Amino acid sequence: MSSLRVYLADAAATQQLGQRLANVVGPGCIALSGELGAGKTELARAMIHGLGYQGRVKSPTYTMVEPYETPRLLISHWDLYRIAANDELQALGIREQSPNTLMLVEWPERASDALPPVDLSIRIEHQGDGRSVVLTPGTSTGEQWVAGLPGSTEMPLGPRPPDANKTR
């Protein structure tokens, strides 16, 4: 399966994508990439709430990892922006996740080879007033997740950006 591109017009569209993802994901690893302020934490927060977590979802910027327990599975939300070396990740237990855990990893490029196989890579970029999101499966699990998204062949989550026809 190839990548899926989605345009998010606003925060409500990001919430909707997070909910849709929450409906199809399971244990595994999702890598969230994009520049500062692109919406990685916002999408992760929407997924965590979509999976049934009722409490406050904190950004793991300073703690580097925040665990959550939902009715469906355990979640570990990682922010690797401040990681300087892989031994820090090993000390934090990045490879010691329960088999029933969904890892949401922001700034995965800072982990080099310390991450488990990435099932789904999500790249978020600014595009006009909204965001362009590219979901790329990395494993058969990730392919199943993307294929299970409602309307996965064309998933409008907001009005098309003005230059949408040029990029298709």
Instruction: Specify the pLDDT at position 22.
Output: 96
pLDDT at 20 over 50: yes
Q: Distance between CA 121 and CA 141 in Å, rounded? A: 12
State mean pLDDT over 153-160: 50
User: Which residues, 6+ apart, have CB-to-CB distance to 27 below 8 Å?
Assistant: 73, 99, 100, 101, 102
3-state SS class at 30: strand
Contact between 106 and 81 under an 8 Å Cβ cutoff? The reply is yes
Per-residue pLDDT tens for 51-108? 999 988 988 777 788 999 999 999 999 888 877 777 776 767 676 777 889 999 999 9
User: What pTM did the predictor assign?
Assistant: 0.86
Per-residue pLDDT tens for 38-67? 899 999 999 999 999 998 898 877 778 899
138 or 158: which leads in pLDDT: 138
Q: Sheet with 101-106: list strands edge to edge.
A: 4-8, 130-137, 120-127, 28-33, 101-106, 74-79, 65-69
State mean pLDDT over 128-146: 95
Total Cβ atoms within 10 A of residue 130: 20
CATH superfamily for 4-149 is P-loop containing nucleotide triphosphate hydrolases (3.40.50.300)
pLDDT band at 161 (very low <50, low <70, confident <90, very high): low
Type and span of the H or E element at 92: helix 86-92
Contact between 31 and 118 under an 8 Å Cβ cutoff? The reply is yes
pLDDT at 8 over 90: yes
Query: CA dist 36 to 42, 46, 74, Å?
Result: 12, 18, 26
153 or 9: which leads in pLDDT: 9
Domain boundaries, the chain: 4-149
